[in-house]
Structures are given as C-alpha cells and as structure tokens.
C-alpha cells in the first residue's frame, strides 16, 4: 500500500465514521456504496473497507448479500449506552481517586472551569459538547488504565448525537458539573464524587425517548452537528473556533 492510498483510506474512514455518528447517513438507511464513493470522490474500495471498519465498531449494520445499513435511533439502545457509560465512569473516578496526582487534578480543574454554563448559539453548544467529551477523556487518562480510556472514547462517539440534542434542548438550563466533580476528587471523597458523577450522567427512559424524537427531527430538518463535523474534516473549521469558554 502506498502512502497516498493509505491516506485516502484513513480520510475515507474518518469521513464515513463522522457521517455515521452524526447521522448524516440517516437511521435505517441502506447505504449505496457507488453513490457514497461518488459523493466522497474516491473509488469503491476505500469506501467498502471504511464501511466494514465502521460497522465493526457498532455504528453500522452489515448484512450478508445486502451490504451496509445505518443503525436505527432506538431509545432502549440509547438508554443501554447511558447505563453502560455510568458503570464505566464510576469505575474511572474510583481509580482517579486512588492514582491521580494533586497536580494532575489541579490541571483538570482549570480545564473544567473554562466552559461556560449556558451556550447561546449552536456553535457554542457544539463547542461545549466537544469540551465535555474532552473532559471525560482526560479524566479517564488519569485513571491510568488504557481500557477505560478506550471505552470512554467509544461511548462518547456512540452517544454524541444524543448529547448534542440534550445540550440544545437544555441550552438555557445547562450547568457545568465538572468543577464540582474534580473538587470532590481533590478531596479524595470517593462517595461524593461517585454520587456527583452518577447524577451528571443519569438518564431515565422517558427523557431518552424525548431525546430520540428530537434527534429524528434534527436529522431530517437541519443537522448542524453533521455540518460541523464535515467542515472540521475538510479543514474549514477547528474546535477552537467553537470554544464556549
């Protein structure tokens, strides 16, 4: 494989994954590989390889003799992801309490305090989403366990669209819980930090059903998150341009 073909494969994978995680490829849609290759300006080979990789990561469904389709937006599945996230994050903070240095926690607190509570525009809400994901990944890094970090990154990607819709819906009522969580970590108060983290993540079925409905409306009537992801991969925008701090 040449360097140029490797770069094409990597870029195709990133673009298709972004299309799947932001639902630019719509829920339940059967993917036309020829049309997708034309849209991305590449041959079918890197498209097929990227689709297989994205499907293996759980964002698409591969069906023998029928190709690939987009995973449906299902409230029960989304709730299962939030429950899984809660279990992983509680394990993360337990290890961080034991292993993180005072200096590392001070740096994490400084990062957490940079985010504003109430984003006023879609761009600021997307920036806040990006910083929220970055916070949880930094926290997982301090746990000193690569498997936790891998899990947190995967969960972030799989609930990204739902988190985006949640931020949009609660734009005037958001609250930055991260500094309080870090301060509890600094006190090494495991019981308090786990209580705070559980409350930060908690989602009930009725709320998730509402998120799912809002998500379908956004997918078919705008999809600013997909627009941003495409602009970012095209080099037209960086996360700092949407920084909500």
Domains of the chain, start order:
5-70 (1.10.10.10), 75-242 (1.20.120.530)
Q: Give the pLDDT score at 125.
A: 79
List pLDDT tens digits, range 14-44. 999 999 999 999 999 999 999 999 999 999 9
Q: What is the mean pLDDT of residues 90-106?
A: 98
Looking at residue 88, the DSSP 8-state letter turns out to be H
Give the C-alpha separation, 119 to 176, whole Å.
Answer: 11
Q: Give the pLDDT score at 245.
A: 43
Extract the runs of DSSP E, i.e. beta strands, from the chain. Answer: 60-63, 67-70
Residue identified by tokens 């996230």 is: 85
Taken in order 239, 77, 172, 194, is the CA torsion positive or negative? negative
Taken in order 15, 20, 23, 28, is the CA torsion positive or negative? positive
> Cβ–Cβ contacts within 10 Å for residue 152, how many?
22
List pLDDT tens digits, range 131-145. 999 999 999 999 999
Q: What is the mean pLDDT of residues 175-194?
A: 93
Mean pLDDT of the chain: 88
Residue identified by tokens 């449906």 is: 72
DSSP assignment of 160-203, as one string?
A: HHHHHHHHHHTGGG----HHHHHHHHHTT-HHHHHHHHHHHH--
Say yes or no to pLDDT of 119 above 70.
no
List pLDDT tens digits, range 145-168. 999 999 999 999 999 998 888 887
**Cβ atoms 125, 171 nearer than 8 A:** yes
Say yes or no to pLDDT of 53 above 70.
yes
Q: Which two tokens stand for residue 47?
A: 């498209």
Q: Give the pLDDT score at 205.
A: 80
């Amino acid at each position: 494989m040449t360097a140029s073909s490797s770069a094409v494969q990597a870029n195709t994978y990133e673009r298709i994954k972004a299309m799947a995680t932001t639902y630019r490829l719509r829920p339940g849609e059967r993917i036309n590989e020829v049309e997708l290759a034309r849209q991305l300006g590449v041959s079918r080979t890197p498209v097929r390889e990227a689709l297989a990789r994205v499907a293996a990561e759980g964002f698409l469904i591969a069906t023998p003799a029928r190709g690939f389709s987009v995973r449906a937006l299902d409230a029960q599945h989304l709730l299962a992801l939030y429950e899984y996230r809660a279990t992983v994050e509680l394990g993360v903070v337990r290890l961080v309490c034991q292993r993180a240095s005072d200096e590392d926690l001070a740096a994490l607190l400084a990062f957490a305090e940079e985010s504003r509570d109430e984003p006023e525009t879609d761009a600021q809400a997307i920036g806040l989403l990006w910083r929220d994901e970055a916070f949880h990944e930094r926290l997982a890094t301090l746990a000193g366990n690569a498997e936790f970090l891998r899990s947190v990154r995967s969960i972030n990607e799989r609930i990204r669209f739902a988190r985006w819709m949640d931020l949009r819906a609660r734009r005037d009522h958001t609250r930055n819980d991260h500094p309080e969580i870090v301060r509890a970590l600094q006190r090494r108060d495991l019981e308090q930090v786990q209580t705070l983290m559980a409350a930060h993540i908690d989602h009930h079925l009725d709320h998730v059903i509402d998120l799912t409905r809002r998500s379908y409306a956004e997918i078919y009537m705008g999809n600013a998150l997909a627009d941003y992801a495409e602009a970012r991969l095209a080099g037209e925008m960086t996360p700092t341009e949407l920084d909500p701090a």
